[in-house]
Chains A and B, each alone.
Chain A
Amino acid sequence: MRKTIASWLFIRLLVKPAVIFDELSETRPSPYVVFFRFLLWMALAPPVFAFIGASQFGWRLGAAEPLYLSPGELIPISVAYFAVLIFGFVSTALVSQWMATTYGARSSLGIHLAMVTIVVAPLVVGSAVHLFPHIFINVLVLIPALIWSMYLLYRGLPVVLQISPERGMLMSSALIGWLLVAAVSFLGLMVALWGRGIGPSIGV
């Protein structure tokens, strides 16, 4: 079993996912390599896109003129965005590793981090839309990206983690449950903080 994964994995993943799934199924990557070579940089892209978009063009929430925030407000938000993504990627890999016992899947952390890399790739590419921060255009681009991500999760997980498609289906659905709960938790945390005046001042 190979221990390394090719550096151009990310590009090929978007073009030929099935080949990548097969290759990864025969690989035992180190978690450090996956994290530092791929996930860290992937988590950096959306906040950078968002920072550039928000500072250059301003957020269009729909009801008002573009909303410009000062760099003093944008930098903490972008850093928080980056931190949330890193937390989300790593915690999902850990949850996936924890679930592996139940579903009889491979349990090395590296392969679960690689699985997260596969799943988030379309969203990271889609996040380029943050360069134009109109909220609905972002929604329109990120929803197809999300559907693509879910397709990669359901198709890729059983191959990469070497389990039957049926168990893969169960494990993928369990991960969707975790991701939905995590997403809504952040939504709740965000509005609670915002409602208490912690966050950018748009007068709330």
Chain B
Amino acid sequence: MNPVTEYYHDRVVTFLVMCSMIWAVLAMSAGVYVAAELVWPTIDFGQQWLSFGRLRPLHTNGIVFGFGVSALMATAFYSVQRTCHVPLRLPRIAWFTAVAWQLGVLAGGLSLLAGINAGKEYAELEWPFDIAITLLWVCFGLVFFTTIAKRRIKPIYVSNWFYGGLIIVIAMLHIVNSLAIPATLFKSYSLFAGAQDAILQWWYGHNAVGFLLTGGFLGMMYYFLPKHADRPIWSYRLSIVAFWAFTYSYIWAGPHHLHYNSIPDWVQNLGMVMSLILLAPSWATMINGIMTVSSAWRKLRTDPALKFIVLSLAFYGLATFEGPMMAIKSVNVVSHFTDWTIGHVHSGALGWNAMITFGTFYFLVPRLVGTELYSVRMANTHFWLALAGTMLYILAMWGAGVSQGLLWLSLDELGELSFSFKDIMASMTPYYALRLVAGLVFLTGAAMMLFNLFMTIKGRRTVAVEPPPVVAYGVQA
């Protein structure tokens, strides 16, 4: 037995959870504002920093790096300690990473508002931020992998494979795609040019979706779903097979973002075929999740959070089916550049990423602070708002996207375009208004959740809760 009782390092987790929720509300607000600008284009009031071109990257970066990465760091730090039966190996570096990451997201967000933009989607931040991200990511990896190295049980649980994959692959993607020659402090030029730059950018862009928004959050699912359900994962073997199949096939799928563009045809076809193959490991994981939770239905009585995870699996199923389907060239010819793509992204981001994170945080925060959730009723209301907002968003974008795709391709008897681009876009206003309503409904739910979690933590402020001692698995007293 250990001579000194060890404790899990959980305060850093609580900090990251709350930062993640604050970024969620801020970045979703930016999203709602840009959605409103598409309905009323003059509400930028002539201010450059309020324009669509600046607020949109703030929205996407805030969600991916602020909300998403903070949530992944929080849950990775929490679960790696429990699955390895050791406290974090480098707690000070963990705290440094957590705090510096928030400052980085804040400064990066301000730089985007100031118009400093590298011009690559989801990699808009300029080179000083790229270097900072690299250093902090290495710190994240150090904390995670040194903790794994010190583990007290030999097998590495599947959630850690996904988190580990996230850390390694995102490092690789970020470093290669950000290679650039700085011209000034806030301006650089990519090391790659033309079609190579485009292929590389979407190798990065698609796999950021793959290994961060899918793989990372699957790590979250594989730890927290069995915990919620209080039973082991339905098929552990399937989860491992799915992990390796997922890792192998995802990395090839990027070129489907460049269908009918000036990249070689065989590269496009390869991207399409690998995207279709990707359906198998994605759905293997979904089936694993659904079967795990289906036998634990009694838990739903006492656990409002489990509902979010159940529904997130349904939307995960939709998004991972819709993606490969949209990668088929004959579907892509209509769907490409339309709002269908935006709808697809949001069926993943709202339905899968946000829902599973909400479910996890509702589970996690009461345990972290040692109290009941402030309001279960509010959490239940949030569930219905999240479901309604996501459904409304997807339906509005399906309608808009398919209309755009067909109208853009429509030719008259002389072979000329039947409709002008301007007229088609003007006719989209009602769909955009519907999307704005959907965004507002979803944002309202997220804001309620932030308040709920804040009150849960505040209620325990007078009583300092010690993190639980480490369970020394297999160590005889």
Question: A177 at the A/B interface (Cβ < 8 Å)?
Answer: yes
| B434 x A169 contact (CB < 8 A) | no
Q: Cβ of B330 and Cβ of A167 under 8 Å apart?
A: no
The interface stretch among A61-69, A77-85, A87-95 is: A61-69
Q: Does A11 contact B (CB under 8 A)?
A: no
CA A174 to CA B399, docked complex, whole Å: 24
Whole-angstrom distance between the Cβ of A3 and the nearest chain B Cβ? 30
Which residues of A (157-178) have their CB < 8 Å from a CB of B?
Answer: 164, 166-167, 169-170, 173-174, 176-177
Q: Is B133 an interface residue (CB 8 A)?
A: no
Known: A169-B310, A202-B406, A203-B410. A102 touches B334 (CB 8 A): no
Looking across the interface, which residue of chain B has its beta carbon closest to that of A176?
B314
The binding surface of chain B is classed by DSSP as helix
Given contacts A139-B434, A166-B298, A170-B310, are A147 and B318 in contact (CB under 8 A)? no
State the Cβ distance, B462 to closest chain A Cβ, in Å. Answer: 35
Is the Cβ of B410 less than 8 Å from the Cβ of A139? Answer: no
State which of B57-65, B135-143, B270-278, B425-433 sits at the interface with chain A. B425-433
Chain A residues, CB < 8 A from B291:
102
Is A103's beta carbon under 8 Å from chain B?
yes
Identify which of A147, A150, A181 gathers the most chain B CB atoms within 10 Å of its CB: A181
A136 within 8 A of B: yes
Question: In angstroms, how far is the closest chain B Cβ from the Cβ of A128?
Answer: 19
Which of A64, A135, A188 is the most central at the interface, judged by chain B CB atoms within 10 Å of its CB? A188
| Contact residue among A143, A174, A181, A191 (Cβ-Cβ distance under 8 Å from B334) | A191
Could you tell me the distance in whole angstroms from the C-beta of B256 to the nearest C-beta in chain A? 14
Q: Judge whether B427 and A184 touch: CB under 8 Å.
A: no
Within 175-194 of A, Cβ neighbours of B (below 8 Å) are at 176-177, 180-181, 184-185, 187-188, 191-192, 194
A169 to B326, alpha carbons, bound, how many Å?
30
* A103-B403 in contact given A61-B427, A173-B311, A177-B313 (Cβ < 8 Å): no
B90 at the binding interface (Cβ < 8 Å): no
Contact bitstring B409-429, A, C-beta under 8 A = 1, else 0: 111110000110001101110
A residues within 8 A CB of B311? 173, 176
The interface residues of chain B lying within 8 Å CB-to-CB of A167 are: 294, 297
A136 B318 Cβ-Cβ under 8 A: no
Assess whether A72 is interfacial by the CB under 8 Å rule.
Answer: no
Question: A196 near B431 (CB under 8 angstroms)?
Answer: no
In the complex, A164→B317 CA distance in Å?
Answer: 25
User: What residues on B are CB-neighbors of A170 within 8 Å?
Assistant: 293-294, 297, 300, 310
- B253-301 contacts to A, CB under 8 A, are 290-291, 293-294, 297-301
Question: Is residue B402 within 8 Å, beta carbon to beta carbon, of the partner chain?
Answer: yes
Chain A residues contacting B321 (CB-CB under 8 Å) are: 181, 184-185
In the assembled complex, the CB of A173 is this many whole angstroms from the nearest CB of chain B, namely: 5
CB of B392 within 8 Å of the partner chain: yes
Distance in Å from the Cβ of B283 to the closest Cβ of chain A?
10
Pair A139/B407 contact, Cβ less than 8 Å: no
Instruction: Say how far B184's CB is from chain A's closest CB, in angstroms.
Output: 44
Residues of B within 8 A of A136 (CB): 399, 430-431
- CB pair B428 A204 closer than 8 Å: no
Q: What is the CA–CA distance of A188 and B138 in the complex, to the nearest angstrom?
A: 41
Point out the residues of chain A lying under 8 angstroms from B299, CB to CB: 166
Contact B297 A62 (CB under 8 A): no
Do residues B318 and A180 form an inter-chain contact, with CB atoms below 8 A?
yes
How many residues belonging to B are interface residues under a CB distance threshold of 8 Å?
Answer: 55
CB atoms of A181 and B405 under 8 A apart: no
B209 at the interface (CB under 8 A from A): no
The answer to whether A139 and B294 touch (CB under 8 A), given A184-B318, A185-B325, A191-B405, is: no
Chain A min CB distance to B395 (Å): 6
A188 touches B407 (CB 8 A): no
Residue B388 CB within 8 A of the other chain: yes
Q: A204-B409, A204-B410 are in contact. Are A191 and B331 (CB under 8 A)?
A: yes
Q: Which residue of B lies closest to A134 (CB)?
A: B430
For A146, the chain B residues whose CB sits under 8 A away are 391, 395
Q: Is the CB of B314 within 8 A of A195?
A: no
Q: Which residues of A contact B44 (CB under 8 A)?
A: none
User: In the assembly, what is the distance between CA of A196 and CA of B395, in Å?
Assistant: 24
A180 partner residues in chain B, CB cutoff 8 A: 314-315, 317-318, 394
A181-B321, A204-B409 given; A135·B403 CB < 8 A: yes
**Cα separation A170 to B295 with both chains bound (whole Å):** 10
Q: Are B314 and A63 in contact (CB under 8 A)?
A: no
Indicate the member of A63, A176, A180 with the most B CB atoms within 10 Å.
A63
Interchain CB contact under 8 A, B410 and A169: no
Tell me the complex Cα distance, A170–B410, Å.
Answer: 43
Q: Which residue of B lies closest to A181 (CB)?
A: B321
Q: Residue B202 at the A interface, CB < 8 A?
A: no
A191 CA / B398 CA spacing, docked (Å): 12
Determine the residue in chain A with the shortest Cβ distance to B416: A203
Contact A184 B388 (CB under 8 A): no
Please name all residues of chain A whose beta carbon is closer than 8 Å to the beta carbon of B293 when the two chains form the complex.
Answer: 170
Q: Using Cβ atoms and an 8 Å threshold, which residues of chain B touch A139? A: 395-396, 399, 430-431, 434
User: Closest Cβ of chain B: how far from A17's Cβ, in Å?
Assistant: 18
Contacts of A194 in B (CB 8 A): 334, 406
Contact B317 A184 (CB under 8 A): no
A184 and B325 contacting across the interface, CB-CB below 8 Å: yes
CB neighbours (8 Å) of B313 from chain A are 173, 177
Given known pairs A62-B428, A64-B418, A174-B290, the reply for A135 and B330 (CB within 8 Å) is no
Show 12 A/B contacts (Cβ-Cβ < 8 Å), sorted by A: A103-B294, A136-B431, A143-B392, A166-B298, A180-B394, A184-B321, A184-B322, A188-B326, A192-B331, A195-B331, A203-B410, A204-B411
Given pairs A146-B395, A167-B294, A192-B334, 15 additional interface contacts (CB within 8 A): A61-B427, A63-B423, A63-B424, A64-B407, A64-B423, A102-B294, A103-B294, A139-B434, A143-B392, A143-B434, A177-B290, A180-B315, A181-B321, A187-B402, A195-B334
Task: Using CB atoms and an 8 Å cutoff, list the residues of chain A in contact with chain B.
Answer: 61-64, 102-103, 135-136, 139, 143, 146-147, 150, 164, 166-167, 169-170, 173-174, 176-177, 180-181, 184-185, 187-188, 191-192, 194-196, 202-204
Enumerate the 10 nearest inter-chain pairs by beta-carbon distance, A residue then B residue, closest first: A62-B427, A177-B314, A166-B300, A191-B334, A180-B318, A203-B411, A192-B330, A136-B430, A167-B297, A188-B325
